[in-house]
Structure 1
Amino acid sequence: MSDRAFIEQLEGYGLTTAEIHYYRPDAPSLLQLFVWQEYDLAPDFPALFDFLDHWRREIEAALHSVRIAHGGLIGPREWRAVDGIIPFK
């Protein structure tokens, strides 16, 4: 049994974080923040855009802005063969 997040990373997904600023109808002068994280595929971000579509349809809060950060956690640059012995004391 494998972890879903690990399998997604092997398939090219990376951890995506979206900082979503929005206004609620009961406090239109107050800018609020919601942080969303999920494994997603850059540069199209299908999971993020599905979430934002759901937000627009179902949540009574007006989006102000969305800031996205994405990073691949597993990649060829992080894996290398090492020859040697590590002594344990």
Structure 2
Amino acid sequence: MSDRAFIARSQGYGLTTAEVHYYRPDAPSLLQLFVWQDYDLAPDFPVLFDFLDHWRREIEAALHSVRIAHDQLIRPAEWRAVDGVISIQ
């Protein structure tokens, strides 16, 4: 049996995190936060947009904003070792 995450990574999916800011009808002055995480394809994000479509249809909360982080959008800086010393005097 294979791990779901391994299969998703081998098909080009990467871990996606979305911060969903929303308002509830019973507290319209209170901005709330929901964090969603799943494997998705950047830059189109079909899984995230399916989730957001479900949110709009089924959940009684108005979306304010969505902030997305994906491992292909944010990566550590690449570096390489250099042989040698540069003296600055």
- 1:39-78 Cα shifts (integer Å, max 9, x gaps): 0000000000000000000000000000000015xxxxxx
Q: Which runs of 5 or more residues in structure 2 are unaligned?
A: 73-89
Instruction: Tell me, yes or no, if structure 1 residue 58 matches structure 2 residue 86.
Output: no
Paired residues, number: 72
TM-score for the superposition, normalised by structure 2: 0.79
List, as ranges, runs of 4+ consecutive aligned residues in structure 1 with deviation greater than 4 Å: none
* Aligned residue number for residue 8 of structure 1: 8
Query: What root-mean-square deviation, in Å, do the aligned CA atoms of Structure 1 and Structure 2 show?
Result: 0.7
- What fraction of aligned residue pairs are identical, expressed as a percent? 88
Unpaired stretches in structure 1, ≥5 consecutive residues: 73-89
CA deviation after TM superposition for structure 1 residue 5, in Å: 0.9
Q: Match of 1:36, as an amino acid?
A: W
